[in-house]
Amino acid sequence: MTATRVLVLNSGSSSVKYQLLDMRDSTRLAVGLVERIGEQGSRLKHTPLTDGGGTRERSVAIADHAAALKAVAEELARDGLGLDSPELAAIGHRVVHGGQSFTEPTVIDDAVLAEIERLIPVAPLHNPANLMGIRTARALRPDLPQVAVFDTAFHTTMPESAARYAIDVATADAYRVRRYGFHGTSHAYVSRATAALLGKAPEEVNVIVLHLGNGASASAVRAGRCVDTSMGLTPLEGLVMGTRSGDIDPAVIFHLMRVGGMSTDEIDTLLNKKSGLIGLCGDNDMREISRRIDEGDERAELAFGIYIHRLKKYIGAYCAVLGRVDAIAFTAGVGENAARVRQAALAGLEPLGPAVDADLNAVRSDEARLISPAGARVAVAVVPTDEELEIATQTYALVDR
Ligand SMILES: Nc1ncnc2c1ncn2[C@@H]1O[C@H](COP(=O)(O)OP(=O)(O)O)[C@@H](O)[C@H]1O
Ligand SMILES: CC(=O)OP(=O)(O)O
Ligand SMILES: [Mg+2]
Protein backbone atom coordinates (compact mmCIF):
# COMPACT_ATOMS: atom_id res chain seq x y z
CA MET A 1 0.00 0.00 0.00
CA THR A 2 1.39 3.42 -0.84
CA ALA A 3 1.10 6.00 1.89
CA THR A 4 -0.86 8.96 0.57
CA ARG A 5 -2.20 10.62 3.71
CA VAL A 6 -0.85 13.75 5.36
CA LEU A 7 -1.73 15.03 8.82
CA VAL A 8 -1.43 18.82 9.11
CA LEU A 9 -0.99 20.58 12.44
CA ASN A 10 -1.55 24.33 12.57
CA SER A 11 -0.51 25.18 16.13
CA GLY A 12 -1.37 28.65 17.38
CA SER A 13 -0.44 30.11 20.72
CA SER A 14 -3.44 28.54 22.47
CA SER A 15 -5.01 26.32 19.83
CA VAL A 16 -4.30 23.56 17.34
CA LYS A 17 -6.21 23.26 14.09
CA TYR A 18 -5.64 19.95 12.32
CA GLN A 19 -6.66 18.14 9.18
CA LEU A 20 -6.01 14.67 7.82
CA LEU A 21 -6.00 14.61 4.02
CA ASP A 22 -5.64 12.00 1.33
CA MET A 23 -3.31 13.61 -1.18
CA ARG A 24 -4.36 11.47 -4.15
CA ASP A 25 -7.22 13.93 -4.59
CA SER A 26 -6.76 16.29 -1.61
CA THR A 27 -9.90 15.00 0.14
CA ARG A 28 -10.26 15.68 3.81
CA LEU A 29 -10.68 12.61 6.00
CA ALA A 30 -10.99 14.45 9.31
CA VAL A 31 -10.78 18.03 10.58
CA GLY A 32 -10.69 19.43 14.07
CA LEU A 33 -9.65 22.01 16.58
CA VAL A 34 -8.31 22.04 20.14
CA GLU A 35 -9.00 25.36 21.85
CA ARG A 36 -7.98 27.12 25.06
CA ILE A 37 -4.90 24.95 25.53
CA GLY A 38 -3.43 25.53 28.99
CA GLU A 39 -6.46 27.57 30.03
CA GLN A 40 -9.69 26.85 31.90
CA GLY A 41 -12.30 25.20 29.72
CA SER A 42 -10.05 23.66 27.07
CA ARG A 43 -12.00 21.68 24.52
CA LEU A 44 -11.67 19.49 21.47
CA LYS A 45 -13.90 19.48 18.39
CA HIS A 46 -13.37 16.64 15.94
CA THR A 47 -15.19 15.89 12.71
CA PRO A 48 -14.54 12.67 10.79
CA LEU A 49 -15.49 13.09 7.13
CA THR A 50 -15.04 9.49 6.00
CA ASP A 51 -18.49 8.03 6.64
CA GLY A 52 -20.47 11.14 7.44
CA GLY A 53 -19.95 10.58 11.19
CA GLY A 54 -20.97 13.72 13.06
CA THR A 55 -18.86 16.23 14.97
CA ARG A 56 -17.71 15.16 18.43
CA GLU A 57 -17.11 17.94 20.95
CA ARG A 58 -15.80 17.44 24.44
CA SER A 59 -14.34 19.46 27.26
CA VAL A 60 -11.02 17.98 28.38
CA ALA A 61 -8.22 19.38 30.48
CA ILE A 62 -5.43 19.99 27.96
CA ALA A 63 -2.36 21.46 29.61
CA ASP A 64 -0.12 22.02 26.61
CA HIS A 65 0.38 21.34 22.89
CA ALA A 66 1.84 17.89 23.63
CA ALA A 67 -1.34 16.85 25.44
CA ALA A 68 -3.38 18.40 22.62
CA LEU A 69 -1.73 16.27 19.96
CA LYS A 70 -2.15 13.12 22.06
CA ALA A 71 -5.88 13.89 22.37
CA VAL A 72 -6.09 14.46 18.60
CA ALA A 73 -4.34 11.13 17.96
CA GLU A 74 -6.90 9.38 20.19
CA GLU A 75 -9.82 10.95 18.33
CA LEU A 76 -8.36 9.95 14.95
CA ALA A 77 -7.80 6.39 16.22
CA ARG A 78 -11.50 6.12 17.16
CA ASP A 79 -12.35 6.62 13.48
CA GLY A 80 -9.74 4.11 12.33
CA LEU A 81 -7.54 6.99 11.15
CA GLY A 82 -4.88 6.70 13.89
CA LEU A 83 -1.30 7.90 13.61
CA ASP A 84 -0.16 4.26 13.45
CA SER A 85 -1.77 3.86 10.01
CA PRO A 86 0.59 2.66 7.27
CA GLU A 87 -1.25 5.00 4.92
CA LEU A 88 0.14 8.06 6.69
CA ALA A 89 2.96 9.48 4.55
CA ALA A 90 4.00 12.48 6.62
CA ILE A 91 3.01 15.06 9.17
CA GLY A 92 3.12 18.73 8.08
CA HIS A 93 3.57 21.44 10.68
CA ARG A 94 2.91 25.16 10.41
CA VAL A 95 5.96 26.86 11.89
CA VAL A 96 5.51 30.58 12.36
CA HIS A 97 9.08 31.91 12.42
CA GLY A 98 11.74 30.51 10.12
CA GLY A 99 13.99 33.58 10.19
CA GLN A 100 16.27 33.87 7.17
CA SER A 101 17.26 30.22 7.42
CA PHE A 102 14.21 28.67 5.83
CA THR A 103 12.88 29.80 2.46
CA GLU A 104 11.25 26.48 1.54
CA PRO A 105 9.28 23.70 3.27
CA THR A 106 11.84 21.58 5.10
CA VAL A 107 12.02 18.00 6.35
CA ILE A 108 12.61 18.27 10.08
CA ASP A 109 15.76 16.86 11.67
CA ASP A 110 17.57 17.77 14.90
CA ALA A 111 19.34 20.72 13.27
CA VAL A 112 16.03 22.15 11.99
CA LEU A 113 14.50 21.76 15.46
CA ALA A 114 17.45 23.58 17.00
CA GLU A 115 17.04 26.49 14.55
CA ILE A 116 13.28 26.78 15.25
CA GLU A 117 14.15 26.83 18.94
CA ARG A 118 16.80 29.53 18.43
CA LEU A 119 14.09 31.73 16.87
CA ILE A 120 11.80 31.60 19.95
CA PRO A 121 12.76 35.12 21.11
CA VAL A 122 11.24 36.57 17.91
CA ALA A 123 8.08 34.41 18.02
CA PRO A 124 7.50 33.77 21.71
CA LEU A 125 3.77 33.09 21.35
CA HIS A 126 4.09 30.74 18.39
CA ASN A 127 7.40 28.85 17.96
CA PRO A 128 7.26 27.06 21.36
CA ALA A 129 3.80 25.72 20.48
CA ASN A 130 5.03 24.62 17.03
CA LEU A 131 8.05 22.88 18.60
CA MET A 132 5.94 20.99 21.10
CA GLY A 133 3.68 19.74 18.31
CA ILE A 134 6.68 18.57 16.29
CA ARG A 135 8.38 16.84 19.22
CA THR A 136 5.20 15.02 20.21
CA ALA A 137 4.50 13.94 16.64
CA ARG A 138 8.07 12.64 16.31
CA ALA A 139 7.72 10.67 19.55
CA LEU A 140 4.47 9.11 18.31
CA ARG A 141 5.85 8.22 14.85
CA PRO A 142 9.66 8.42 14.88
CA ASP A 143 9.81 6.67 11.48
CA LEU A 144 7.63 9.23 9.68
CA PRO A 145 8.89 12.33 7.83
CA GLN A 146 7.86 15.54 9.57
CA VAL A 147 7.84 18.67 7.45
CA ALA A 148 7.93 22.29 8.60
CA VAL A 149 6.12 24.86 6.45
CA PHE A 150 7.13 28.35 7.51
CA ASP A 151 4.92 31.45 7.72
CA THR A 152 7.96 33.53 6.84
CA ALA A 153 8.99 31.63 3.69
CA PHE A 154 6.78 33.44 1.17
CA HIS A 155 8.12 36.80 2.32
CA THR A 156 11.79 36.02 1.78
CA THR A 157 11.46 37.53 -1.72
CA MET A 158 10.96 41.02 -0.26
CA PRO A 159 13.60 43.48 -1.48
CA GLU A 160 15.99 44.89 1.10
CA SER A 161 14.22 48.24 0.79
CA ALA A 162 11.11 46.65 2.29
CA ALA A 163 12.78 44.10 4.58
CA ARG A 164 15.22 46.43 6.38
CA TYR A 165 14.39 48.80 9.19
CA ALA A 166 16.11 52.17 8.97
CA ILE A 167 18.36 51.51 11.96
CA ASP A 168 22.12 51.12 12.29
CA VAL A 169 23.06 48.31 9.91
CA ALA A 170 25.68 46.69 12.16
CA THR A 171 23.27 46.51 15.09
CA ALA A 172 20.48 45.18 12.89
CA ASP A 173 22.72 42.48 11.43
CA ALA A 174 24.21 41.48 14.78
CA TYR A 175 20.77 40.74 16.18
CA ARG A 176 19.10 39.73 12.89
CA VAL A 177 16.65 42.58 13.26
CA ARG A 178 14.75 42.83 9.98
CA ARG A 179 11.23 42.44 8.66
CA TYR A 180 10.33 38.78 8.12
CA GLY A 181 6.55 38.85 7.68
CA PHE A 182 4.07 36.11 8.63
CA HIS A 183 0.91 34.32 7.44
CA GLY A 184 2.97 33.64 4.30
CA THR A 185 1.31 30.30 3.57
CA SER A 186 -2.02 32.11 3.46
CA HIS A 187 -0.73 35.06 1.41
CA ALA A 188 0.81 32.63 -1.11
CA TYR A 189 -2.31 30.49 -1.39
CA VAL A 190 -4.73 33.42 -1.60
CA SER A 191 -2.69 35.40 -4.12
CA ARG A 192 -2.57 32.34 -6.41
CA ALA A 193 -6.30 31.63 -5.92
CA THR A 194 -7.08 35.28 -6.72
CA ALA A 195 -5.14 35.05 -9.98
CA ALA A 196 -7.10 31.87 -10.80
CA LEU A 197 -10.37 33.67 -10.04
CA LEU A 198 -9.37 36.31 -12.59
CA GLY A 199 -8.52 33.57 -15.09
CA LYS A 200 -4.84 34.54 -15.02
CA ALA A 201 -1.54 32.94 -14.08
CA PRO A 202 0.03 34.24 -10.83
CA GLU A 203 2.88 35.78 -12.87
CA GLU A 204 0.39 37.97 -14.73
CA VAL A 205 -1.17 39.78 -11.78
CA ASN A 206 -0.39 42.15 -8.92
CA VAL A 207 -2.48 41.49 -5.83
CA ILE A 208 -2.94 43.05 -2.40
CA VAL A 209 -3.87 40.31 0.08
CA LEU A 210 -5.56 41.29 3.35
CA HIS A 211 -5.38 38.38 5.81
CA LEU A 212 -7.70 39.52 8.59
CA GLY A 213 -8.02 36.92 11.34
CA ASN A 214 -7.28 37.36 15.00
CA GLY A 215 -3.75 38.10 13.84
CA ALA A 216 -3.91 40.27 10.72
CA SER A 217 -1.50 41.20 7.97
CA ALA A 218 -1.45 42.72 4.49
CA SER A 219 0.88 41.87 1.64
CA ALA A 220 1.76 43.29 -1.74
CA VAL A 221 2.33 40.51 -4.27
CA ARG A 222 3.83 41.38 -7.66
CA ALA A 223 3.67 38.64 -10.31
CA GLY A 224 3.42 35.92 -7.67
CA ARG A 225 6.24 37.19 -5.46
CA CYS A 226 5.83 39.06 -2.19
CA VAL A 227 7.37 42.55 -2.35
CA ASP A 228 6.09 43.93 0.98
CA THR A 229 4.11 42.84 4.01
CA SER A 230 2.85 44.54 7.13
CA MET A 231 4.26 42.27 9.85
CA GLY A 232 7.92 42.67 10.72
CA LEU A 233 10.50 41.15 13.05
CA THR A 234 7.55 39.67 14.93
CA PRO A 235 3.80 39.36 14.24
CA LEU A 236 3.22 42.60 16.22
CA GLU A 237 3.85 45.17 13.47
CA GLY A 238 1.29 46.49 11.01
CA LEU A 239 -2.48 46.28 11.13
CA VAL A 240 -4.66 46.66 14.21
CA MET A 241 -5.44 43.06 15.32
CA GLY A 242 -7.69 41.27 17.79
CA THR A 243 -5.31 41.76 20.72
CA ARG A 244 -2.18 43.33 19.14
CA SER A 245 -1.57 47.03 18.58
CA GLY A 246 0.12 46.81 15.20
CA ASP A 247 2.15 49.92 14.32
CA ILE A 248 2.97 52.36 17.12
CA ASP A 249 5.71 54.94 17.63
CA PRO A 250 8.51 52.88 19.26
CA ALA A 251 8.99 55.76 21.68
CA VAL A 252 5.69 54.76 23.30
CA ILE A 253 7.68 51.89 24.81
CA PHE A 254 10.40 54.15 26.30
CA HIS A 255 7.71 56.45 27.60
CA LEU A 256 5.85 53.61 29.33
CA MET A 257 9.14 52.43 30.87
CA ARG A 258 10.40 55.82 32.01
CA VAL A 259 7.17 57.55 32.93
CA GLY A 260 4.86 54.58 33.51
CA GLY A 261 7.45 52.46 35.33
CA MET A 262 6.43 49.41 33.33
CA SER A 263 8.74 46.44 32.77
CA THR A 264 9.69 44.98 29.39
CA ASP A 265 7.46 41.96 29.99
CA GLU A 266 4.52 44.13 31.04
CA ILE A 267 4.78 46.18 27.86
CA ASP A 268 5.18 43.03 25.76
CA THR A 269 1.94 41.68 27.25
CA LEU A 270 0.22 45.06 26.84
CA LEU A 271 1.04 45.33 23.13
CA ASN A 272 0.53 41.65 22.20
CA LYS A 273 -2.43 40.66 24.36
CA LYS A 274 -4.20 43.73 25.75
CA SER A 275 -4.18 46.03 22.73
CA GLY A 276 -5.80 46.09 19.31
CA LEU A 277 -9.57 45.68 19.30
CA ILE A 278 -9.71 44.13 22.77
CA GLY A 279 -7.70 46.99 24.27
CA LEU A 280 -9.80 49.59 22.52
CA CYS A 281 -13.27 48.24 23.28
CA GLY A 282 -13.03 45.06 25.38
CA ASP A 283 -13.95 42.70 22.53
CA ASN A 284 -11.69 41.11 19.92
CA ASP A 285 -14.38 39.29 17.96
CA MET A 286 -15.56 41.30 14.95
CA ARG A 287 -19.04 39.74 15.20
CA GLU A 288 -19.48 41.13 18.70
CA ILE A 289 -18.06 44.53 17.71
CA SER A 290 -20.42 44.72 14.76
CA ARG A 291 -23.38 43.87 17.00
CA ARG A 292 -22.35 46.60 19.46
CA ILE A 293 -22.02 49.17 16.66
CA ASP A 294 -25.57 48.35 15.55
CA GLU A 295 -26.67 49.11 19.10
CA GLY A 296 -24.94 52.50 18.99
CA ASP A 297 -21.98 51.58 21.22
CA GLU A 298 -19.42 54.39 20.82
CA ARG A 299 -16.37 52.50 22.07
CA ALA A 300 -17.02 49.70 19.60
CA GLU A 301 -17.44 52.27 16.84
CA LEU A 302 -14.15 53.98 17.74
CA ALA A 303 -12.31 50.62 17.79
CA PHE A 304 -13.76 49.79 14.39
CA GLY A 305 -12.80 53.21 13.06
CA ILE A 306 -9.18 52.80 14.17
CA TYR A 307 -9.04 49.28 12.70
CA ILE A 308 -10.39 50.52 9.34
CA HIS A 309 -8.19 53.62 9.23
CA ARG A 310 -5.04 51.47 9.56
CA LEU A 311 -6.30 48.98 6.98
CA LYS A 312 -6.98 51.79 4.51
CA LYS A 313 -3.49 53.20 4.99
CA TYR A 314 -1.93 49.84 4.11
CA ILE A 315 -4.16 49.42 1.06
CA GLY A 316 -3.11 52.87 -0.14
CA ALA A 317 0.54 52.17 0.61
CA TYR A 318 0.49 48.90 -1.32
CA CYS A 319 -1.21 50.56 -4.29
CA ALA A 320 1.80 52.88 -4.30
CA VAL A 321 4.29 50.02 -3.84
CA LEU A 322 2.78 47.98 -6.69
CA GLY A 323 1.90 50.81 -9.07
CA ARG A 324 -0.54 48.64 -11.01
CA VAL A 325 -2.97 46.65 -8.86
CA ASP A 326 -5.16 43.97 -10.47
CA ALA A 327 -6.99 42.75 -7.38
CA ILE A 328 -7.49 43.21 -3.67
CA ALA A 329 -8.33 39.97 -1.84
CA PHE A 330 -9.90 39.67 1.61
CA THR A 331 -9.28 36.47 3.56
CA ALA A 332 -9.30 34.78 7.04
CA GLY A 333 -12.06 34.94 9.67
CA VAL A 334 -12.79 38.68 9.42
CA GLY A 335 -11.91 39.13 5.75
CA GLU A 336 -14.08 36.21 4.64
CA ASN A 337 -17.08 36.99 6.83
CA ALA A 338 -17.28 40.66 7.76
CA ALA A 339 -18.95 42.48 4.84
CA ARG A 340 -18.92 45.63 6.99
CA VAL A 341 -15.12 45.59 7.21
CA ARG A 342 -14.70 45.06 3.46
CA GLN A 343 -17.11 47.87 2.64
CA ALA A 344 -15.55 50.33 5.10
CA ALA A 345 -11.95 49.49 4.16
CA LEU A 346 -12.52 50.38 0.50
CA ALA A 347 -15.03 53.22 0.94
CA GLY A 348 -13.73 56.32 -0.80
CA LEU A 349 -10.89 54.50 -2.58
CA GLU A 350 -12.73 54.43 -5.93
CA PRO A 351 -10.32 57.01 -7.44
CA LEU A 352 -7.55 54.43 -6.86
CA GLY A 353 -9.53 51.77 -8.76
CA PRO A 354 -11.22 49.33 -6.35
CA ALA A 355 -14.99 49.35 -5.96
CA VAL A 356 -17.38 47.17 -3.96
CA ASP A 357 -20.85 46.12 -5.14
CA ALA A 358 -23.06 46.21 -2.02
CA ASP A 359 -25.23 43.25 -3.09
CA LEU A 360 -22.28 41.03 -4.01
CA ASN A 361 -20.54 42.03 -0.78
CA ALA A 362 -23.57 40.95 1.27
CA VAL A 363 -23.61 37.40 -0.16
CA ARG A 364 -22.39 34.76 2.29
CA SER A 365 -20.49 31.90 0.70
CA ASP A 366 -17.53 29.56 1.23
CA GLU A 367 -16.45 30.02 -2.38
CA ALA A 368 -13.84 32.41 -3.76
CA ARG A 369 -15.80 35.23 -5.39
CA LEU A 370 -15.62 38.75 -6.79
CA ILE A 371 -17.47 41.51 -4.95
CA SER A 372 -16.54 44.36 -7.31
CA PRO A 373 -18.89 45.47 -10.08
CA ALA A 374 -18.12 44.22 -13.59
CA GLY A 375 -15.51 46.42 -15.23
CA ALA A 376 -13.96 47.74 -11.99
CA ARG A 377 -10.37 48.83 -12.65
CA VAL A 378 -9.22 46.90 -9.57
CA ALA A 379 -11.11 43.66 -8.85
CA VAL A 380 -12.09 43.07 -5.23
CA ALA A 381 -12.34 39.44 -4.12
CA VAL A 382 -13.23 37.36 -1.09
CA VAL A 383 -10.98 34.30 -1.16
CA PRO A 384 -11.23 31.74 1.66
CA THR A 385 -7.74 30.84 2.79
CA ASP A 386 -6.72 27.20 3.27
CA GLU A 387 -3.43 27.09 5.13
CA GLU A 388 -3.93 23.41 5.94
CA LEU A 389 -4.38 22.34 2.30
CA GLU A 390 -1.35 24.43 1.29
CA ILE A 391 0.76 22.87 4.08
CA ALA A 392 -0.43 19.37 3.10
CA THR A 393 0.40 19.98 -0.57
CA GLN A 394 3.88 21.30 0.22
CA THR A 395 4.50 18.48 2.71
CA TYR A 396 3.43 15.75 0.30
CA ALA A 397 5.50 17.24 -2.52
CA LEU A 398 8.60 16.77 -0.34
CA VAL A 399 7.96 13.16 0.65
CA ASP A 400 6.24 11.69 -2.42
CA ARG A 401 9.11 10.37 -4.47
N1 LIG B 1 -19.26 35.79 10.80
C2 LIG B 1 -18.24 36.56 11.17
N3 LIG B 1 -18.36 37.91 11.11
C4 LIG B 1 -17.36 38.71 11.49
N5 LIG B 1 -16.18 38.26 11.97
C6 LIG B 1 -16.02 36.94 12.08
C7 LIG B 1 -17.02 36.02 11.69
N8 LIG B 1 -16.55 34.77 11.91
C9 LIG B 1 -15.31 34.91 12.40
N10 LIG B 1 -14.97 36.21 12.52
C11 LIG B 1 -13.72 36.77 13.02
O12 LIG B 1 -12.65 35.93 12.67
C13 LIG B 1 -11.73 35.86 13.76
C14 LIG B 1 -10.95 34.57 13.70
O15 LIG B 1 -10.34 34.48 12.45
P16 LIG B 1 -9.32 33.29 12.11
O17 LIG B 1 -8.83 33.52 10.74
O18 LIG B 1 -9.93 31.99 12.43
O19 LIG B 1 -8.19 33.67 13.14
P20 LIG B 1 -6.94 32.91 13.75
O21 LIG B 1 -6.49 31.90 12.71
O22 LIG B 1 -5.97 34.01 13.96
O23 LIG B 1 -7.42 32.28 15.01
C24 LIG B 1 -12.61 36.00 14.99
O25 LIG B 1 -11.90 36.54 16.06
C26 LIG B 1 -13.70 36.93 14.51
O27 LIG B 1 -13.32 38.27 14.80
C1 LIG C 1 1.66 34.91 12.87
C2 LIG C 1 0.31 35.12 13.44
O3 LIG C 1 -0.06 36.22 13.79
O4 LIG C 1 -0.47 34.03 13.49
P5 LIG C 1 -1.96 33.96 14.06
O6 LIG C 1 -2.79 34.90 13.25
O7 LIG C 1 -2.34 32.51 13.85
O8 LIG C 1 -1.87 34.35 15.51
MG1 LIG D 1 -4.80 32.08 11.50
Residue 1 has pLDDT above 70, yes or no: no
Question: Where does ligand 1 bind, in terms of residues with CB under 6 Å?
Answer: 12, 213-215, 242, 284-287, 332-334, 337-338
For 187-237, how does the pLDDT look when each residue is reduced to its tens digit (9 = 90+)? 999 999 999 999 999 999 999 999 999 999 999 999 999 999 999 999 999
- Fold: same for 5-150 and 199-387: yes
Pocket test for ligand 2, best of 33, 130, 182 (most atoms within 8 A of CB): 182
Cα(86) to centroid of ligand 2, in Å?
33
Q: Establish whether 143 is an annotated binding residue.
A: no
What is the rounded distance in angstroms from the CA atom of residue 351 to the CA atom of residue 371?
Answer: 17
If residue 329 lies in a helix (H) or strand (E), which one and from where to where? strand 327-331
Burial call 279-289: b when 16+ CB within 10 Å, e when fewer: bbbebbebeeb
**Selection from 371, 398, 365 nearest residue 384 by Cα:** 365
If residue 299 lies in a helix (H) or strand (E), which one and from where to where? helix 298-322
For 156-194, how does the pLDDT look when each residue is reduced to its tens digit (9 = 90+)? 999 999 999 999 999 999 999 999 999 999 999 999 999
**Selection from 334, 365, 367 nearest residue 217 by Cα:** 334
Residue 104 has pLDDT above 90, yes or no: yes
* Shortest-distance ligand to the CA of residue 334: 1
Mean pLDDT of the chain: 95
For 272-281, how does the pLDDT look when each residue is reduced to its tens digit (9 = 90+)? 999 999 999 9
Instruction: Pick left, alpha or beta for residue 332 (phi over 0 → left; psi -120 to 50 → alpha; otherwise beta).
Output: left
Cα R_g (the chain), whole angstroms: 21
DSSP codes joined into one string, 114-176: HHHHHTGGG-TTTHHHHHHHHHHHHHH-TTS-EEEEETTGGGGG--HHHH--SS-HHHHHHTT
Record: fold of 199-387: Nucleotidyltransferase; domain 5 (3.30.420)
For 120-149, how does the pLDDT look when each residue is reduced to its tens digit (9 = 90+)? 988 888 899 999 999 999 999 999 999 999
Q: Establish whether 176 is an annotated binding residue.
A: no
What is the rounded distance in angstroms from the CA atom of residue 238 to the CA atom of residue 217?
Answer: 7
Record: fold of 5-150: Nucleotidyltransferase; domain 5 (3.30.420)
Map out the domains of the chain as residue ranges.
5-150, 199-387
Nearest-CA residue for ligand 1 atom 18 is 333
Cα(80) to centroid of ligand 2, in Å?
32
Can you tell me the ipTM of this complex? 0.98
Catalytic residue positions, numbered: 151
For the chain, percent of residues with pLDDT exceeding 90: 90
Q: State which amino acid sits at residue 97.
A: H
What is the rounded distance in angstroms from the CA atom of residue 283 to the CA atom of residue 277?
Answer: 6
SS3 of residue 251 by DSSP: helix
What is the rounded distance in angstroms from the CA atom of residue 204 to the CA atom of residue 379?
Answer: 14
pLDDT for 213 equals 94
For 389-400, how does the pLDDT look when each residue is reduced to its tens digit (9 = 90+)? 999 999 999 997
164 Cβ contact partners less than 8 Å away, ≥ 6 residues apart: 172, 178, 179
**Selection from 45, 2, 40 nearest residue 22 by Cα:** 2
Which atom of ligand 1 is the closest one to the Cα of 285? 27
Burial call 33-72: b when 16+ CB within 10 Å, e when fewer: bbbebeeeebebebbbbeeeeeeeeeeeebeebbbbbebb
At 40, the pLDDT band (50, 70, 90 cuts) reads: confident
Q: Establish whether 272 is an annotated binding residue.
A: no
Which atom of ligand 2 is the closest one to the Cα of 125? 8
